[in-house]
Structure 1
């Protein structure tokens, strides 16, 4: 029961921080014609979640920390609902082509960066483990 509470608190804190960072990025990019803030959030969040996954594949970390960073921070930082809303808005207000480019960059870029992050996280964890740092 104590570990479950630690996990819930960790997800809450991570989600709060991820959401606040997402909001700050959107405030600074809202004036652009292209939803750059959402693209950056989703691509960076995909990379970070991939990196976390790669790290924990090599090195065990406390479950509460893993959940707080993955489910909490990355879940609060990235946003599928905004991606969908932006794509619908762009297809109606601007053009179908702009919406398609936005979706292609977001989806394929997200998967590519998640895979890249996975390899980077694994590599860092293995290297640090060999050096005796972890």
Structure 2
């Protein structure tokens, strides 16, 4: 197997282990709320982080294993589409349709907004960092 592929797989596995562990602890911490706030925080926060990393990586081009380890591994392990779907059904069946609809709208629209905001922020921070490096060089 190609050395680059192995590095990528290892980076994804490590990132996913960290992201999944963080998601688990966050869910344990927010479980008593009765509302899937943990999943909402995970998906919005993960969207913001992935957007930021994407913007940053446009300017500051990293090694491939860093990109996939943080993006696919960490963000992929931290966010969760299946829990979003399960929580939506739970809210619909056990509480009220409007809670379920609001949860989906906030998750989807919020996720897109956070990803866009993170992307713009990542571009700005990456450009600032790059210009500081050029000025010093």
Distance 2:55 2:61 in 1: 11
Residue 40, structure 1, aligned to residue 37, structure 2: no
- Structure 1: 5+ residue stretches without partners: none
1:61 Cα deviation (Å)?
0.1
Structure 1 counterpart SS, 2:33: coil
1:131 Cα deviation (Å)?
0.5
- Structure 2: 5+ residue stretches without partners: none
Q: Which residue of 2 aligns with 1:116?
A: 117
Q: How many residues align?
A: 134
1:108 Cα deviation (Å)?
0.3
Structure 1 counterpart SS, 2:22: helix
Distance 1:86 1:62 in 2: 36
Distance 1:115 1:44 in 2: 12
Task: Give the alignment's TM-score, normalised by structure 1.
Answer: 0.98
1:58 Cα deviation (Å)?
1.1
Structure 1 counterpart SS, 2:32: coil
Task: Give the alignment's TM-score, normalised by structure 2.
Answer: 0.96
